[in-house]
């Protein structure tokens, strides 16, 4: 598309957010040669990235992960909460799985490592703007590995029998489900309050849960007890 063929409506308006000035400058120079892409603002930290997005309403933000003042992932979440239609494309040196997962959860549409050539960034911008999701191949393989591990865990969980509670633990859990506190349970079962505490602790440990309410929800879901 030539410059004369490009109208304002055709332009992909971009904000570059990166704390390295030389990298921002290099990106801007490369993107300046693309007739369908316009860099409307730059930011050197997460706070500025959010402010630039809200002020300029770009189509896309090129976002680094590791930046001062909120960071790229936090900035991504804030931008998506405030202006959901803005696309976020992470462009970073971080190959940490946690950063990838957090960026996706925050709403990023792409996660590319800076190992790609700077000339490839324009095509990545167009793809994400068009609705595609992009992830660097090395990061995509990590994501697939994690999904496979999660699937195996779910499968193992389904195959594992529900932890067996003793008759006394079931009695305690049933009374907990009825909203009784430890003192009332102790009176009802003619045992000490300290014994009730021990039973509750054992129940939580066996079920790998953290609270009495979680134990009740788990027990009802697994049909260990039925609340009348």
Co-location of 121 and 213 in the same domain: no
- Residue 133 belongs to domain spanning: 3-137
Q: Is residue 122 part of a domain?
A: yes
Domain match, 117 and 62 both: yes
Domain boundary residue, one of 122, 137, 152: 137
CATH number for the domain spanning 191: value is 1.10.10.10
- Please give the pLDDT value at position 185: 92
Helix (H) or strand (E) holding 219: helix 212-221
Q: How far apart are CA 43 and CA 63, in angstroms?
A: 9
pLDDT for the residue 1? 43
Return the pLDDT at 157. Answer: 55
39 and 77 co-located in one domain: yes
In a domain, residue 78? The reply is: yes
Q: Look at residue 142 and tell me if it is in a domain.
A: no
**CA distances for 50 relative to 15, 25, 37, 78, angstroms:** 10, 19, 20, 7
Classified as helix, coil or strand, 207 is: helix
Please give the tally of structural domains in the chain. 2
Cα–Cα distance measured from residue 110 to residue 133, given in angstroms and rounded to the nearest whole number: 5
In a domain, 17, yes or no: yes
Q: Which residues of the chain have pLDDT under 50?
A: 1-6, 227-228
| 161 lies in some domain | no
- Does 196 lie in the same domain as 87? no
pTM above 0.75, yes or no: no
The string of pLDDT tens digits covering residues 95-150 is 888 888 888 889 998 899 988 887 789 999 999 998 887 888 777 776 666 656 66
């Amino acid at each position: 598309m030539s410059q004369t063929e490009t109208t304002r409506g055709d332009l992909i308006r971009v904000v570059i957010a990166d704390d390295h000035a030389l990298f921002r400058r290099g990106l801007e120079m490369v993107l300046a040669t693309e007739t369908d892409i316009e860099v409307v603002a730059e930011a050197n930290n997460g706070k500025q990235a959010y402010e630039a997005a809200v002020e300029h309403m770009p189509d896309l933000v090129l976002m680094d992960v590791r930046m001062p003042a909120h960071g790229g992932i936090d900035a991504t979440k804030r931008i998506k909460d405030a202006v959901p239609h803005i696309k976020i494309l992470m462009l970073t040196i971080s190959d940490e799985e946690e950063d990838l997962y957090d960026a996706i959860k925050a709403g990023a549409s792409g996660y590319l490592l800076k190992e790609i050539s700077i000339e490839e960034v324009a095509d990545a911008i167009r793809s994400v703007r068009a609705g595609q999701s992009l992830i660097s191949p090395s990061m995509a393989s990590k994501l697939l590995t994690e999904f496979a591990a999660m699937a195996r865990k779910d499968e193992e969980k389904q195959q594992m029998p529900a932890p067996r509670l003793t008759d006394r633990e079931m009695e305690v859990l049933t009374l907990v489900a009825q909203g009784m506190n430890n003192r009332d349970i102790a009176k009802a079962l003619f045992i000490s309050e300290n014994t009730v505490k021990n039973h509750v602790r054992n129940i939580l440990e066996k079920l790998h849960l953290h609270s009495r309410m979680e134990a009740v929800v788990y027990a009802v879901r697994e049909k260990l007890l039925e609340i009348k």
